[in-house]
Structure 1
Amino acid sequence: VSCQSAGSGDEPTTQDDGVLAALGPRLAEAGVPAVIAMQGNLTMQTAAEFMPVFFSELRRDGQVDRAMSVARGAVRERPDWWMPVLFMRLRSGRIGYKPGFGDEREGLRKWPALLRNIEAGRCTPIVGPGASEWLLGSRREIAARWAADFGYPMDPNGNESLPQVAQYLAVDQDVMFMRDELDRQIIGEVVRRYGEWLPPALAAASPDELVSAAAALAQSQAGMAIFHTLARLPLPIYVTTNPGNLLSNALREVEVTVNGQHRCKEPVVEVCRWNDSLATLPSIFEEDRDYRPSVERPLVFHLFGRLDEPESLVVTEDDFFDYLIGVTSNNDLIPIVVRNALVNSALLFLGFGLDDWDFRVLFRSIINRQGSRRRNNYAHVAAQIDPEAGRIQEPEGARRYLETYFDKEADISIFWGGVADFTAELAKRLKLGLDGTS
């Protein structure tokens, strides 16, 4: 909301020669989806009456034009009621979504199939970076900082694309510098959020160690509830593009009963060997050829690398191209049990942005796999893949387009909302309380 400084209200003109009055349309022109500006001085009394009504109405359905109309009606007896004006780029007038499936009736139909597949162990969660933004910050934030700090000179629309900005940094400096900066960004985010509670002994800890320590402090927070809910699911395989160990740590905290004895799950962590430097990494499938992923010993497969293996991280544009070329030309880069799960189970996408490189590369590599016909036997869900109103000119149109695209490509139902929204609803429907009781 852009508000001109409030005045006495007796004099509607301003002392800025119209500069501030022009700010609203310029913000809208620059891409801000909705701007409330003032055409002149607004009294504090009018602002005090207008703003609560506006935001109260906006929270109801995200319909900014309707909220504006109701709020202006609430101050119609004021002499400066006409001062607030709305500049908007949204054809629908809506700046957000109510969490849920695009077609609520279809959503209600899809839940039973998804739950049955989970209970039968026929579901494969694919966890994206959005699931850990509460701790590590978003990739867009990292990209924007780098673009500002290192003078990213290319298309300004790419300032929030981490692969593009990381590519520039790797070329302008070198790859090791880019990786060092990524470590610094992760450490900085964790310290900013949890630094005052972390023990001094962790001052020189690696990013992976720091993330684990911070996650241990955040056990009761909504962010970790995402991973706790996923870890309690009776599933043998998890696929993740998160570089940290939040998921595997959460799995280790879940008790299961094996032959009448209680013990914690023992996740096996693997990383995709998408480049030659990773060929010598040890693998459970070479060390224990009898290993088969199970609920007791689930496989956590990191598609785009791990923090403790910097060479495995897929960050730059070149990394994504090389990764896609590698996994499409050499099936063995992804273990056969994971390949089978991607084409012969219900897929549950969590924490991706539809226009992000990681999701686009991941999605195409899955869709193009052999045996995809078997995937038609399952109900798939893409949760919290939500176009942001602040970045999309027409969210409703984007929503319709994306629903059509994913229905056509892979019969995927989209749940619009946050990762926490979906996992909370999932836990509720599975009758899994967040304390682990049924």
Structure 2
Amino acid sequence: MDEMQEHDWERLTYQLKRGRCTPFVGAGASVSVLPSGGALSHKLAEILGYTGKYADDLPYVAQWGGIKHDLVHIKEMVRDILDVGLAPDFSNPEEPHGLLAGFPLPVFVTTNFDDFIAQSLLAVGKSPTSVICPWKSDITTEENVLASEAVWKPEPLAPLVYHLHGALTDPASLVIAHDDYHEFTRNLAVESATGQRKMLPPSVLKALTREPLLFVGYSLQDISFRMLFQELIKSIPGISQRKHVSIQLERVTGDEDRDVEDLKLQLDSYYRGWKITVFWGGAAAFCAELRARMGAPS
């Protein structure tokens, strides 16, 4: 795992301009209007009356709240906290959603609950289809939606936005507590073993296995980021053939050098033979650097 060099930027800009890249969008892309994972966790802990030492650990706080209350109710509380009625300024040159929306990309994958990707695509005249991953049986993703041409054959002007960990429109779909993460991972593994791919439609599977990957909006302390790599490599045959992965990864306060080294060792051991390059910094800084190197996409 190496820091991004000049040739890495050239490769990434080439791929983005030609729509040959699959972006994963994390919570750091939405911090201009929504709380970070840690801030959300503290807010939820405050509402629930949790005063323990894990107040900044959202899966822990949500799990604790789910024992005290119904877990669906906890997810509805999270929905209410995040449903602020605001959206980022997509015209801001350092805004991640607005930047990515300008590229001819057919598939966007996100672990975020908000609809900012779809909003940014609409803002540039595209017609996105948003779909929630049916990671458990009670998620109300209609079969006819999963079987539609918009999902099976997404195009740059009509892209697919795939909410891997749920969306605010269906609070029960949110992957937020420890039990949710375990169930998500278990069900993905079961589907891989049985060959049934309800959680990952063919277009998403193709985007993951045949295109370079770009992760934007993640940090070392983000459980979505740490688990996502493991889920992908263990449960998606063929993804190991994907050699180029670009990661915008933010160091947050408290990260030690050994945390970075541990992450490097983890990624290198899992993805031996992959070409993984990292931009150390926030999503806005990454966007500014990308624009400086290529200009705004047409």
Q: TM-score of the superposition, structure 1-length normalised?
A: 0.61
Q: 1:269-320: CA deviations, max 9, x gaps?
A: 1110011112552543424489411111111100011111122111111111
Is the 1:274–1:326 contact (alpha carbons within 8 Å) kept by the matching residues of 2?
yes
Question: SS of the counterpart of 1:429?
Answer: helix
CA contact (8 A) 1:167 1:317 kept: yes
Give yes or no for contact 1:305–1:312 (8 Å, CA) kept in 2: yes
Q: Is the 8 A contact 2:233 2:240 kept in 1?
A: no
Say whether the 8 Å CA contact 1:102–1:416 is kept in structure 2.
no
Give the 3 Å change call, closer, same or farther, for CA 179–373 of structure 1 in structure 2: closer
Which consecutive unaligned segments of at least 5 residues does structure 1 have? 1-100, 191-209, 255-263
Residues 126, 347 of structure 1: 8 Å contact kept = yes
Partner SS, residue 242 of structure 1: coil
Partner residue, 1:66 = none
Structure 1 counterpart of 2:237, which letter? Answer: Q
Structure 1 residues 136, 293: closer, same or farther in 2, change over 3 A? Answer: same
Aligned-pair CA distance for 1:405: 3.1
Matches within 5 A, 1:195-210: 210=85
Aligned to 1:422: 286
Higher relative contact order (CA 8 A, sep 6+): 2
Number of the residue aligned with 2:87:
215
2:169 is aligned with 1:303: no
- Alpha-carbon distance, 1:363 to partner: 1.4
- Give yes or no for the alignment of 1:161 onto 2:57: yes
Candidates 104, 109, 114, aligned match of 1:239: 109
**TM score, norm. by length of structure 2:** 0.88
CA contact (8 A) 1:407 1:413 kept: no
Contact 2:93 2:288 in 1 (8 A): no
Change (3 A) 1:290 1:359: closer
Secondary structure at 2:43 match in 1 = helix
CA drift at 1:232: 0.4
3-state SS of 1:215 partner: coil
The ranges of structure 1 where at least 4 consecutive aligned residues each deviate by more than 4 angstroms after the TM superposition are 219-223
Counterpart CA distance in 1 for 2:97 and 2:204 is 20
Give the Å deviation of 1:227. Answer: 0.9
Could you tell me how far apart the structure 2 residues matched to 1:353 and 1:148 are?
A: 23
Q: Tell me if the contact between 1:403 and 1:413 (Cα under 8 Å) persists in the aligned partners.
A: no
Q: Deviations over 1:226-264 (max 9, x none)?
A: 21100001111110111111111111122xxxxxxxxx2
Summarize the Cα distance change of 1:273–1:253 in structure 2 as closer, same or farther, 3 Å threshold: same
**1:226 corresponding residue in structure 2:** 96
Q: Distance in 2 between matches of 1:280 and 1:116?
A: 35
Partner Cα separation in structure 1 for residue 59 and residue 121 of structure 2: 30
3-state DSSP class of the match of 2:242? helix
Q: Does 1:333 align with 2:195?
A: no
Aligned partner of 1:373 among 240, 250, 271? 240
In structure 2, the residue matched to 1:129 is 27
Question: Equivalences for 1:79-98 in 2 at 5 Å?
Answer: none
Note if 1:312 corresponds to 2:173.
yes
Distance 1:348 1:274, change over 3 A: same
CA distance in 1, matches of 2:46, 2:130: 36
Q: Answer with 1 or 2: which has the greater Rg.
A: 1
- Correspondence 1:238-387 to 2 at 5 A: 238-254=108-124, 264-278=125-139, 281-288=142-149, 291-330=152-191, 331-368=197-234, 369-376=236-243, 379-383=244-248, 385-387=249-251
Looking at structure 2, the residues matched to 287 and 220 of structure 1 have their Cα atoms a distance apart, in angstroms, of 31
Secondary structure class of the residue paired with 1:351: strand
Determine helix, strand or coil for the equivalent of 2:181: helix
3-state SS of 2:157 partner = coil
1:391 is aligned to: 254
Q: Which moved more, 1:109-118 or 1:264-273?
A: 109-118
- 2:106–2:156 contact (8 Å) kept in structure 1: yes
User: 1:120-199 alignment to 2 at 5 Å?
Assistant: 120-152=18-50, 156=53, 158-187=54-83, 190=84
| Distance (Å, rounded) in 1 between the aligned partners of 2:14 and 2:92 | 28
Q: CA deviation digits over 1:88-108, x for unaligned, max 9?
A: xxxxxxxxxxxxx964xx522
Amino acid paired to 1:228: G
Q: Deviations over 1:80-131 (max 9, x none)?
A: xxxxxxxxxxxxxxxxxxxxx964xx52221122222223322100000111
Identity %: 30
Shift of 1:408: 4.0
CA distance in 2 between partners of 1:290 and 1:315 (Å): 25
Contact 1:129 1:242 in 2 (8 A): yes
The number of residue pairs the alignment matches comes to: 289
